[in-house]
Amino acid sequence: MTKTGALLIGHARLENLEKQIEKLSKFANLEVFVWIDKGTTPGLITLQFEFIKKLNSKIPSPANIHLTESNLGLAESIPAAISWMFESVDQGMILEDDLEFGDSFIEFTLYGLREFHTNSKIWMVAGSNPLNQDSLPNDQVAITTYPVIWGWGTWKNRWQEIENYALNSLVAPKNRRSYFRVRRYWKNGWYKTRLGVLNSWANIVAGYQHDLGKITVMPPVNLIKNNGNDGIGVHDNSNLYVAQEIQHIALADITWEIPSSDQIAITDLKFEQEVFFVRSASILNSYLCYVRFKLKSIQKLIRLGEK
- Which pLDDT belongs to residue 236? 43
- Which pLDDT belongs to residue 279? 57
Residue 146 three-state SS: coil
Interacting residues of 215 by C-beta distance below 8 A, sequence separation 6+: 121, 122, 123, 124, 143, 144, 145, 258, 264
Query: How far is 161 from 158, CA to CA, in rounded Å?
Result: 5
Interacting residues of 70 by C-beta distance below 8 A, sequence separation 6+: 38
Q: What is the pTM of this model?
A: 0.86
- Which pLDDT belongs to residue 256? 92
- Which DSSP string do the residues of 43-71 spell out, in sequence order? HHHHHHHHHHHHHTTTSS-GGGEEE-SS-
Each of the 307 residues of the chain gets a pLDDT tens digit; together they read: 899 999 999 999 999 999 999 999 999 899 999 999 999 999 999 999 999 999 988 887 888 999 999 999 999 999 999 999 999 999 999 999 999 999 999 999 999 999 999 999 999 999 999 886 665 567 889 999 999 999 999 999 999 999 998 999 888 887 666 677 787 788 888 888 888 888 889 988 998 999 899 999 999 999 999 887 554 544 444 444 444 788 888 899 999 999 888 888 888 988 888 887 765 555 556 556 656 655 665 565 565 555 5
Query: How far is 67 from 34, CA to CA, in rounded Å?
Result: 8
Residue 245's CB is within 10 A of a number of other CB atoms, namely: 8
Q: Which class for 274: exposed (0-12), middle (13-18), buried (19 or more C-beta within 10 A)?
A: middle
Q: Where are the alpha helices (DSSP H) in 117-229?
A: 156-162, 180-195, 202-212
- Which pLDDT belongs to residue 235? 46
- Which pLDDT belongs to residue 301? 52
Which fold is adopted by the domain 1-97? Answer: Spore Coat Polysaccharide Biosynthesis Protein SpsA; Chain A (3.90.550)
- Domain edges within the chain: 1-97, 102-307
- Which pLDDT belongs to residue 38? 97
- Which pLDDT belongs to residue 148? 94
- Which pLDDT belongs to residue 88? 96
- Which pLDDT belongs to residue 237? 44
Single out the residue of 81, 142, 158, 88 nearest to residue 269, CA to CA.
142
The strand pair at 224-226 and 99-101 is best described as antiparallel
